Amino acid sequence: MTAATKIKPSAWQRSAKALETAALLLIIAFIVLPILWLAITAIKPQEKAYTTDIIFMPTLDNFEIIFSDESVIINEGTERERGEVGRNMIPNVINSVVVSGATILIAIPLATLAAYAFSRYQFLGNGILLVWILTTQFIPAIVVAIPFFTLFRTVEVFDRPLLGTQLGLIIVNMSIVLPYAIWMIKGFVDALPGEIEEAAFVDGCNDFQILFFISLPLIRPGVLVASVFAFIMSWNEFLFALIIGREMRTMQVALMTTSGARGIMWEQMAAAGMVVMIPIFFLALFIRKNVVDGLTMGAVK
């Protein structure tokens, strides 16, 4: 090869490299833009929310409005003081935290025990049972919601119908959270070498001693990941929250209450959206490597 032909491919490679960088930047823009725009809108002053301006004085007014009972005065000192009635979404945040928290507190211990059994024991129909648990995820949520709606209208706990209560929503959430959690934790138990348990067995531990003192401590990181995944699932759940939760609005449903005289008050919706999103953001980063396994129940490796 001559010197001239040596330069040519490198020039070609350089433009391919530039093309690749451009593609990557495009992907980043595609992913980040909606999130970024929501974040920008959340700190925009009200009068700028309905524009595409990106130069403005950042403000926390919108968060103040969605978290207070009283009317919040905006544009203080101007001739016509424009006030906004507070929405007070604190109860909604509490609903979301209680429902998602209680859902994982109930689901995760049960799922852990079940996952351990599926991973470590041969019992009648365990393979079929496991696949059946997988297929429950393909039941449309609306089919689960209809009978529970009619049931919870009449079933009373502490003299209150279950419909529109946190407990009602927690019960129905089990139908989506438990199967995922079982599959996810089973993956972690499968990855644990059985020799340690064998050794404990030889040393005279019984089944439950092995489970609680040997295996559980070892799979704790996996259980934590599954808990975070389950928390995100129930936090972001919408259909049950709408139909079963009713007036007990979780944050997902409360997003719908940001409409008023101006239609949807986008700056308030964006602020509420940040409240819904930011905690999940960090949780999602934390379980980044396991999300795919969780969603596909380990089908794609």
Partner 1 sequence: MRKKRWVPWVLVGPALLIIVLTTIYPLLAALYFSFHKYKLRSPPQFAVQIGDGGISIDWSLLTLDNYALAFSDSRFINSLQVTFWFTVISVALSVIIGLGIAVIVQKGGKLHTLTKVLLIFPFAVSPALKGYSWRFMLNENYGIYDLLIDSLVIKPINFLLSILNALPIVEIPLLSESIVWLGDKFWALFMLAMSETWGWAPLIALMFVGALGSIDEQIFEAARIDGANRAQIFFRVTLPLLRPVILIITMLKTIFSLKMFDQVVTMTGGGPVRATQTINYYIHQVGFVRSLDIGYASAMSYILVVVLTICAALYVSLVLNRD
Applying the rule CB under 8 A, the residues between 222 and 281 that interact with partner 1 are 232, 235-236, 238-239, 242-243, 252-253, 255-256, 264, 266, 269-270, 273, 276-277, 280-281
What are the residues facing 73 on neighbouring strands? 83
Q: Which residues, 199 to 218, sit near partner 1 by CB under 8 A?
A: 201, 207-208, 210-211
Q: How far is the CB of 81 from partner 1 (least distance, A)?
A: 25
Closer Cβ to partner 1, 74 or 178, answer by number = 178
Q: How far is the CB of 6 from partner 1 (least distance, A)?
A: 19
CA 77 to CA 69: how far, in whole Å?
Answer: 22
Q: Which residues, 47 to 106, sit near partner 1 by CB under 8 A?
A: 50-52
What does the block give as tokens for 236? 């972001």
**Which amino acid is present at 55?**
I
What does the block give as tokens for 282? 């960090």
Residue 179 in the binding site for partner 1 (CB under 8 A): yes
Candidate ranges 55-63, 77-85, 132-140, 215-223; the one touching partner 1 (CB under 8 A): 132-140
Residue 150 in the binding site for partner 1 (CB under 8 A): yes
Closer Cβ to partner 1, 14 or 71, answer by number = 14
CA 182 to CA 192: how far, in whole Å?
Answer: 16
Closer Cβ to partner 1, 67 or 183, answer by number = 183
> Using the rule CB under 8 A, which residue among 151, 216, 218, 224 binds partner 1?
151
> Using the rule CB under 8 A, which residue among 76, 77, 217, 301 binds partner 1?
301
> Using the rule CB under 8 A, which residue among 59, 68, 75, 175 binds partner 1?
175
* 161 three-class SS: strand
H-helix or E-strand spanning residue 67: none
* 160 three-class SS: strand
Q: How many CA atoms lie less than 13 Å away from 81 in the CB half-sphere?
A: 8
CA 60 to CA 292: how far, in whole Å?
Answer: 35
What does the block give as tokens for 270? 């964006």
Residue 34 in the binding site for partner 1 (CB under 8 A): yes
Nearest partner of 49 among 265, 220, 254, 213, judged by Cα: 265
Residue 156 is classified by DSSP as E
Residue 126 in the binding site for partner 1 (CB under 8 A): yes
Candidate ranges 16-24, 60-68, 82-90, 212-220; the one touching partner 1 (CB under 8 A): 16-24
Residue 167 in the binding site for partner 1 (CB under 8 A): no
CA 246 to CA 99: how far, in whole Å?
Answer: 13
Cβ atoms of 65 and 72 closer than 8 Å: yes
Q: How far is the CB of 117 from partner 1 (least distance, A)?
A: 4
CB atoms < 10 A from the CB of 272, how many?
28
Residue 27 in the binding site for partner 1 (CB under 8 A): yes
Q: How far is the CB of 70 from partner 1 (least distance, A)?
A: 26
